[in-house]
A and B are shown apart, each in its own frame.
Chain A
Amino acid sequence: MTDTMLTPGPRTAAGADQASPAGPPRPGRLLQPRVAGALRLLPWGLFAAVLLLPVAGFLLVAVSPRLFDQGDAWFTWAPFQQVLSGWTAHALLDSLAVGAGAALLATAVALALAWLTERTTLAGQGLWRLLLWALLLAPSYLESLGWTWLVEPQGVLDRLLGQDPVWLRSVVFGPAGVIWVLATRGVPFAYLAVTALLRGLGREFEDAARTHGGGRLATARVVLPMLAPALWAAFATVFAESISDYGVAATLASQGNFPLLTGAMEQSISTFPADFPLASAMGWLLLALVGLALLAQRRSLRGRSYQVLSGRTRPARRARLGAVRQTAALVGVGGFFLAAAGVPAFGAAAASLLPSGGKVSAASLSLANFRHVLGSGEMMSALGYSARLAAITACAAVVLGAVAGRALARQGGGRAGRLLDLLLLAAIALPSVLLASGYIFTYNLPFASSLGIDLYGTTTLLVLGYLAGALPSAARLLSGPLGQVSDSLLWAARIHGRRPAAAWAGAVLPLVAGSLVWTWLIAFCGTLLELPVSQLLAPPGQEPLSVAITRQLQGYDLGAGAAMTVVVVAGALVLIGLVLGALRLFLPTARRLEALA
């Protein structure tokens, strides 16, 4: 594992001193270990503030409701008994099945997609990447809405075919539809995890298998186990994201009367009186499910090293696809994106272009909703506020995510690493609304106020809440690429006389810059439209974008809400194009890495 990032570890410092020809250390250097120690502790303090305290605060409510003014008992197991009976127990099993199904499907699709785009001459690479981004940006409710518009009675298929698609509706509004939508939402995450590793995996391993007479299958059997960290990371992340998704639970699953645990959790909070202890007990059970996935991941990877990227890594060669294979691959990839990204695009377009009531016809399409939205100062001020906070959150998520990613990728990990891993997955597994409640419980305690910590109701706490949502994905996305970079690269630069920062910037940054930028963009885009944390933590007098959009959607103005969503998603896509363009312009070495073929 590398010690090359922001906080140089003891091994790097020792190595540097040995290699340094500069003689006795300068006086300033004596302070370095203390400063470095403080620097090393700083991110852990932030992890505690952002993740540990709110998660612990929320989870404590289940066993000690009285501590937070949410019941009479100082200690009780009653909420757990309540969850494990009746329909909520059923919902728990449903969530487990749906999470595993979505994670498997997403990982398999992502692996195929990553191999096709990274290791073959598949046409339309830029388009597929853009579509992956679009998939990542579309909120899950939008994809669900697209499917609903398509298959509902009097919906588009009904009108196009002249027949009500009853069978398709029963599939979509049920386990299969829910798994599909969640899997398509998970594919970009899984794809990023797999490609990051695939790019670093030189061709020497394939060459070795081939040289020893192995066919395609045998080569795959050699290479696939090397991808195990990425595949497990993809599986665990998509599993945790899927079981904590609320958008799909509230739409497709609820219409199909297929209860999921997140639906039950949300319901126990949004109803009056809110039952926070019950929701917290469900949170414990979701964490237990994620714990199972984590355990499986750890057992599979234990005792092996996956450092494959070093100074001797040779670029992989792309397999040339013949006409037949090219066509088959294009049909497969195109079909996937049509079903995954085409449907939400259709949903958003239909909802934003159609008038909100009355008969639907080609003549009734109009841009009125867009004119209304773009002309409204309210929307622009909400957009500006959310964009600022999203940019701050994304920067913090990249820095802290890199630190956390390094800790995750370290062999063995240590007790702190394991705790961090568990916390990050807890933050993914707990639906945002529960995490936000945890923020209120923790940072609004009268005791905190008496200490002068009045964070609740401020933009600072809202950013911390956003960070809790963005950090887990950032850490997972960065742990793969950072875990891959061998220390030998940095040592080589240091031996050749580069100072630590310059050595890192020259030897390591180009290798991880692509991942850092992608992580920033994901955190930015995910935060821009984040709803549950915004709803519970927005400071008085400020309205985040998602709250403004939801108000339109719930105020019987579906068209304006959908138009706002389309404008934001389109704007975010433009931003992604600009950032990736800038990366290629200012860091051409990173570009060469991206085109490693």
Chain B
Amino acid sequence: MAVLSACGSSQSAGSGGSVVATGAPVPLVVYSAQGYDQAMVTAFQKATGIPTKLVDDSTGPLLARVQAERGNPQWGVLWVDGDEAFAALDQAGMLVKNFEPNVQLNAAGQAVVPKDRSYVPTGLTVTAALVYDASKTPNPPTSWQDLLSPTWKGAVGMNDPAVSGPTYPFVAGMFNQLGGDSQGEAFYSSLKSNGLHVFQTNGDTLHALQTGQIKVALIQSSAGIAAGIKDKNIKTAYLPKVTSLPSVIGIDGKVSAQEQAEAEKFASFVLSPQGQQVMLTGDRNGDSLYWPIVQDVTPDPELPALAAVPTQAIDPYVWGPKEGTVNTWFTNTIVH
């Protein structure tokens, strides 16, 4: 309950955009793609008494729903992986700005907070982790350029960024670290010439790895680590550099003052010690395998120290607006 009072105080302690709830509670509608969201909503409702309704689905359908509802939004909180979409929503004026929960973030967390405080990062995974079966592939590649060599011809698989939400940051991250669009396009075109396999989602790419269709899978870190927990031969490595992929909460810009206050309370609760405990335990074989961004919260022991992972953060306000163009290029050139 000490946590709760901390949460409550965060309302008045929050910067400019935060609102103090005064009226009777209204149902807070949470659209979320996180594996631990049901546990979080239950804990939040129990702790605050605010009636909370969850729409739990994959990132793609949720973002489609949010965009279709654009003229008359019905959601209060949107919670999915990847800050690029949130940057684009912010630029379209769809998010509440200037709200920041009153918590101490670590350096990795501070690096992914937007300048206008239009969304709230809640944890980190990275993309793309290199996932392989150590019993079949004892010497995995050690650099991105290795993947273009004859040794790995026809042996590499990844997801389609137009279908799998967490894959666009990987593609954008490669464009970013290689120096720009033309260099990035050249890299993926070479990868295609070397027999790249493109699957729909993490599950499909992992299945191809387990059946031997590919030797290395380029997927989100949490999916690779989860596969490694079930099958000890599956290992996850990080080529320099991988792109950080924050899980993010955004608050609907058209929401009522009462619901905005409740949504801010929800975001603060997620980053509170009690909320972090729910995130770390709510989905042990999936989304709970993340690096916390709150000071002094430690990740699941299955994860290596984040400092040992060669990570880059890309600017979502540069890469977010390019998502449509890059995905269209990828679909037209690499997939078909």
| A residues at B contact (CB < 8 Å) | 68-70, 86-87, 152-155, 250, 254-255, 257, 259, 267, 269-276, 356-358, 378, 433, 437, 440-441, 444-446, 449, 456-457, 535-536, 538-541, 543, 547, 550-551, 553-558
A276 and B324 CA atoms in complex are apart in Å by 13
CB–CB B211/A558 < 8 A: no
A558 and B223 CA atoms in complex are apart in Å by 13
Candidates B55, B64, B324; contact of A538 at CB < 8 Å: B55
CB–CB A267/B331 < 8 A: yes
CB–CB B230/A86 < 8 A: no
Of the candidate stretches B70-78, B113-121, B174-182, B238-246, the one touching chain A is: B70-78
Given contacts A274-B67, A445-B72, A446-B71, 14 further A-B contacts (CB under 8 A): A68-B70, A70-B70, A86-B332, A152-B211, A153-B212, A273-B67, A276-B67, A440-B65, A538-B55, A540-B29, A540-B55, A541-B53, A551-B58, A555-B283
User: B162 near A: Cβ within 8 Å?
Assistant: yes
CB–CB B213/A259 < 8 A: no
User: B285 near A: Cβ within 8 Å?
Assistant: yes
List residues of B (222-264) whose CB comes within 8 Å of A's CBs.
Answer: 223, 226-227, 230-231, 234
A553 and B286 CA atoms in complex are apart in Å by 12
User: B69 near A: Cβ within 8 Å?
Assistant: yes
CB–CB A356/B55 < 8 A: no
Interfacial chain B residues near A437, Cβ < 8 Å: 64, 68
The interface bits of chain B over 144-185 (1 if a CB of A lies within 8 angstroms of the residue's CB, else 0) are 000000000000000001110100100000000000000000
Given contacts A155-B211, A271-B162, A440-B68, contact A536 B74 (CB under 8 A): no
Residue of A nearest to B286 (CB): A555
CB–CB B88/A273 < 8 A: yes
A557 and B230 CA atoms in complex are apart in Å by 11
Interfacial chain B residues near A276, Cβ < 8 Å: 67-68
User: B323 near A: Cβ within 8 Å?
Assistant: yes
Indicate the member of B74, B84, B201, B227 with the most A CB atoms within 10 Å. Answer: B74
Min CB–CB distance A350 → chain B (angstroms): 12
CB–CB B202/A275 < 8 A: no
Candidates A255, A457, A554, A555; contact of B74 at CB < 8 Å: A457
CB–CB B71/A536 < 8 A: no
CB–CB A440/B88 < 8 A: no
3 tightest A-B contacts by CB? Answer: A540-B53, A541-B53, A270-B60
User: B143 near A: Cβ within 8 Å?
Assistant: no
Candidates B88, B223, B227, B286; contact of A272 at CB < 8 Å: B88
Min CB–CB distance A499 → chain B (angstroms): 49
CB–CB A444/B61 < 8 A: no
Interfacial chain B residues near A378, Cβ < 8 Å: 38
CB–CB B71/A269 < 8 A: no
Candidates B161, B203, B332; contact of A554 at CB < 8 Å: B203
Given contacts A274-B67, A444-B72, A556-B286, contact A254 B200 (CB under 8 A): yes
Interfacial chain A residues near B227, Cβ < 8 Å: 357, 556
Candidates A250, A358, A543, A556; contact of B56 at CB < 8 Å: A543
Indicate the member of B68, B199, B202 with the most A CB atoms within 10 Å. Answer: B68
CB–CB A259/B336 < 8 A: yes
CB–CB B211/A153 < 8 A: yes
Residue of B nearest to A450 (CB): B72
CB–CB B58/A152 < 8 A: no
A-B contact pairs, 5 of them (CB 8 A): A154-B213, A254-B200, A255-B199, A440-B65, A538-B55
CB–CB B163/A558 < 8 A: no
A153 and B212 CA atoms in complex are apart in Å by 7
CB–CB B27/A540 < 8 A: yes
Min CB–CB distance A269 → chain B (angstroms): 5
Interfacial chain A residues near B74, Cβ < 8 Å: 444, 456-457, 540
Interfacial chain A residues near B55, Cβ < 8 Å: 538, 540
Interfacial chain A residues near B212, Cβ < 8 Å: 153-154
A547 and B56 CA atoms in complex are apart in Å by 8
Candidates B35, B200, B285, B286; contact of A250 at CB < 8 Å: B200
Residue of B nearest to A250 (CB): B200
Residue of A nearest to B85 (CB): A272
> Chain B, interface size: which category?
35 or more
A254 and B61 CA atoms in complex are apart in Å by 19
CB–CB B213/A357 < 8 A: no
List residues of B (29-78) whose CB comes within 8 Å of A's CBs.
Answer: 29-30, 35, 38, 53-58, 60-61, 63-65, 67-72, 74
A153 and B215 CA atoms in complex are apart in Å by 12
User: B277 near A: Cβ within 8 Å?
Assistant: no
Residue of A nearest to B336 (CB): A87
Interfacial chain A residues near B162, Cβ < 8 Å: 267, 270-271
Interfacial chain B residues near A551, Cβ < 8 Å: 56-58
CB–CB B72/A269 < 8 A: no
CB–CB A535/B61 < 8 A: yes
A155 and B211 CA atoms in complex are apart in Å by 7
Residue of A nearest to B199 (CB): A255
Residue of B nearest to A148 (CB): B207
Interfacial chain B residues near A538, Cβ < 8 Å: 55
Min CB–CB distance A59 → chain B (angstroms): 15
CB–CB B72/A274 < 8 A: no
CB–CB A556/B231 < 8 A: no
User: B327 near A: Cβ within 8 Å?
Assistant: yes
The interface bits of chain B over 292-306 (1 if a CB of A lies within 8 angstroms of the residue's CB, else 0) are 000000000000000
Interfacial chain A residues near B102, Cβ < 8 Å: none
Given contacts A449-B72, A457-B74, A558-B203, contact A273 B56 (CB under 8 A): no
Min CB–CB distance B86 → chain A (angstroms): 10
Interfacial chain A residues near B161, Cβ < 8 Å: 271
A257 and B57 CA atoms in complex are apart in Å by 27
Residue of B nearest to A276 (CB): B68
User: B95 near A: Cβ within 8 Å?
Assistant: no
User: B206 near A: Cβ within 8 Å?
Assistant: yes
List residues of B (299-336) whose CB comes within 8 Å of A's CBs.
Answer: 323-324, 327, 331-332, 335-336
User: B194 near A: Cβ within 8 Å?
Assistant: no
Residue of B nearest to A457 (CB): B74
Interfacial chain A residues near B64, Cβ < 8 Å: 269-270, 274, 433, 437, 536
A154 and B212 CA atoms in complex are apart in Å by 7
Candidates A69, A444, A550, A555; contact of B35 at CB < 8 Å: A555
Min CB–CB distance A483 → chain B (angstroms): 38
User: B98 near A: Cβ within 8 Å?
Assistant: no
Candidates A153, A250, A556; contact of B226 at CB < 8 Å: A556
Min CB–CB distance B186 → chain A (angstroms): 21
Given contacts A154-B212, A358-B230, A536-B64, contact A444 B69 (CB under 8 A): yes
Interfacial chain A residues near B29, Cβ < 8 Å: 457, 540
Min CB–CB distance B20 → chain A (angstroms): 24
Interfacial chain B residues near A267, Cβ < 8 Å: 162-163, 331
CB–CB A272/B323 < 8 A: yes
CB–CB A270/B210 < 8 A: no
Min CB–CB distance B195 → chain A (angstroms): 13
A538 and B199 CA atoms in complex are apart in Å by 28
Residue of A nearest to B70 (CB): A69
CB–CB B72/A271 < 8 A: no
Min CB–CB distance A376 → chain B (angstroms): 12
Given contacts A152-B213, A272-B88, contact A541 B286 (CB under 8 A): no
Residue of B nearest to A551 (CB): B56
Min CB–CB distance A93 → chain B (angstroms): 14
Interfacial chain A residues near B168, Cβ < 8 Å: 272
CB–CB A556/B71 < 8 A: no
Interfacial chain B residues near A152, Cβ < 8 Å: 211, 213
CB–CB A69/B71 < 8 A: yes
CB–CB A556/B200 < 8 A: no
CB–CB A557/B285 < 8 A: yes
Given contacts A69-B70, A554-B201, contact A271 B336 (CB under 8 A): no
CB–CB A274/B63 < 8 A: yes
Interfacial chain B residues near A554, Cβ < 8 Å: 58, 201, 203
Interfacial chain B residues near A255, Cβ < 8 Å: 199
Interfacial chain A residues near B61, Cβ < 8 Å: 270, 535-536
Min CB–CB distance A154 → chain B (angstroms): 4
Interfacial chain A residues near B283, Cβ < 8 Å: 555
